[in-house]
Amino acid sequence: MSEPIAICRYPDIAQTPELAKEIDAIFFEASNTKSFVSDDARAAFRERWLGRYLTHDPALAFLARTGDGTVVGYIVGSVDDPAKAARFSDIGYFADLAEQTERFPAHLHVNISPGFRNQGIGGRLIDRFVAAAKTARAPGVHVVTSVGAENVGFYNRNGFSEVARAGKDGRLVFLARTL
């Protein structure tokens, strides 16, 4: 039997260097990008896909923690339409998906430590994010991933379905869920 996992709001946890290291370890392990040309490039990558959410949208960040407080997963996101919000202008595909992001503006990133995957933790994190997005009156939520990626099935099981494709040769899939 696996140990109980608590889902906690990120702002309710003491912001320590150890907490940041645990979240970063999960983030970089789950990332498809494993090497960087410099420490600055690594920091910019982290900021783009994780840091900006922790800074600007901490109320929408949730952590999955073991009984001893170890972080084993997280979800971050925003309810701001990324095609309209200037802080997301560095992600070019949002301009191509503006019609879809207007209908499904909230977006998220969820990652779980390898030893804790397939235990329902990711779904529980999505449930918490969705509840917070509903409270913020977001009409829908989306994720963008690669066509054929393993996580497409995970998102499908959690109520997301394909709405559009974008990127070179349609290699990105926009999965959405009405709230």
**Domain count within the chain:** 1
Q: For position 2, what pLDDT does the model report? A: 65
| Residue located via tokens 């869920």 | 177
Nearest to 63 by CA among 105, 17, 2, 15: 15
Read out DSSP for 19-48? HHHHHHHHHHHH-S----SSHHHHHHHHII
Within a domain: residue 160? yes
Within a domain: residue 33? yes
Domain residue limits at 58: 6-178
Within a domain: residue 12? yes
Q: What is the pLDDT along the chain (179 residues), one digit of tens a residue?
A: 467 999 999 999 999 999 999 999 999 999 989 999 999 999 999 999 999 999 999 999 999 999 999 999 999 999 999 999 999 999 999 999 999 999 999 999 999 999 999 999 999 999 999 999 999 999 999 999 999 999 999 999 999 999 999 988 899 999 999 99
Within a domain: residue 19? yes
Within a domain: residue 42? yes
Within a domain: residue 171? yes
Give the total residue count for the chain.
179
pTM of the shown model: 0.95
CATH number of the structural domain spanning residue 19: 3.40.630.30
Within a domain: residue 146? yes
Within a domain: residue 1? no
**Are 91 and 168 contacting, i.e. CB atoms less than 8 angstroms apart?**
no
Q: For position 85, what pLDDT does the model report? A: 97
Query: Which tokens is 94 given?
Result: 């949002």
